[in-house]
Amino acid sequence: MMKLKGWLVAGSLLFAGSSLSAIAASSSGELLDQAQASQLVHRVTEAPKTLTFQGIYIQQRHNFMQSYRVFHQGGGGSDVERRESLDGPQLEYLRHGDLISVFTPDARPVTLDRRHTSKMFPRQFPDQADELLGNYQIRKIGRERVAGLDADIYDFEPRDRYRFPHRYWIDSGSGLMLKTVMYGARREVTEIFSFSQINIGGALDKRLLKPVNPVRPVVLEQLPQNVVADSHWQINDLPPGFKLFRQLKRNLPGKNKPVLHYLYGDGLVTVSVFIEPIDPRMPQGLTQQNGISLYSRQIGGYMVTALGEVPSDTVQAFSQAFTPRGNDK
């Protein structure tokens, strides 16, 4: 099986018994109507912006697991947040509204995508939350305790074959997201974020928002207001519900030349499309690994590769949607 390491690095820069058996069970419960679903997603979207909370959460993805501590001061129109890793490489992240600073073990410059800075757990819904409702229907399936709090459990069920299901545990009192699960092609659990400790509300000691390490400001890649059509590529028949966020040329690990990169999203997941000159050593076709699907195909003198936490049909459709114009064929 082809390794996805180089492409996974590119995607991650745009930045965890019996209970798992219950998670993997098929959904049943109350299907929310449009008004109920809209009210829910707006509540969950606003909670991590306006609430004050502090806690420890775990990110788990297959054999990788890491824990983080987060302090968040909400309200006032400009929230403040600090988070730090508790194991693995020492990392620290500080945000004052749109101003971001980080500490990493090395001194290399850090660049972050602006979308990424506002989608870190538990803030994982888009600001335009109703975008989700065209792609997913929401089902309330029960209640469970997470980190000592009562949480309502909701399944986000895809409306088509182009995306995977997700499950969310939402604090019944505040609307804060306490736990998330993303599934794969066989409804296996591919990624979990979950609070192990959480305190919501009350006063937060301002000293907890001061960095422990010498953080430095980072450059935020701006999202263009209007994405213009590429004169070299014709794009047709993309999977429904995905919006183009970015197109640019970028340098990727292991690549000698800049690669043309398109980034699409549906509100919960993203798909990247990379276009580069053909290399005979590059494998073609479909690869799936740890919930990631990758599909590469040659067209003319180019290789078009689509990558994302989506079904195989989705990356194949994205790759096949790109056709060179005129003399580029």
Residue pLDDT, tens place only, 169-180: 999 999 999 999
Cis preceding-peptide flag for 253 (omega within 30 of 0): no
Share of the chain above pLDDT 90, in %: 58
Quick one: 14-221 is in which CATH superfamily?
Lipoprotein localisation LolA/LolB/LppX (2.50.20.10)
- Residue 93 tokens, joined: 């992240």
**33-50 per-position pLDDT tens digit:** 999 999 999 999 999 999
- Residue 232 tokens, joined: 């070299």
**76-89 per-position pLDDT tens digit:** 678 899 999 999 88
- The predicted model scores a pTM of 0.85
Quick one: 233-328 is in which CATH superfamily?
MucB/RseB, C-terminal domain (3.30.200.100)
| Three-state SS at 285 | strand
**Element at 221 (helix H, strand E):** strand 219-221
**Does position 114 have pLDDT exceeding 90, yes or no?**
no
Mean pLDDT value across residues 263-272: 92
**Does position 26 have pLDDT exceeding 80, yes or no?**
no
Domain ranges of the chain: 14-221, 233-328
175: left (phi over 0), alpha (psi -120 to 50) or beta: left
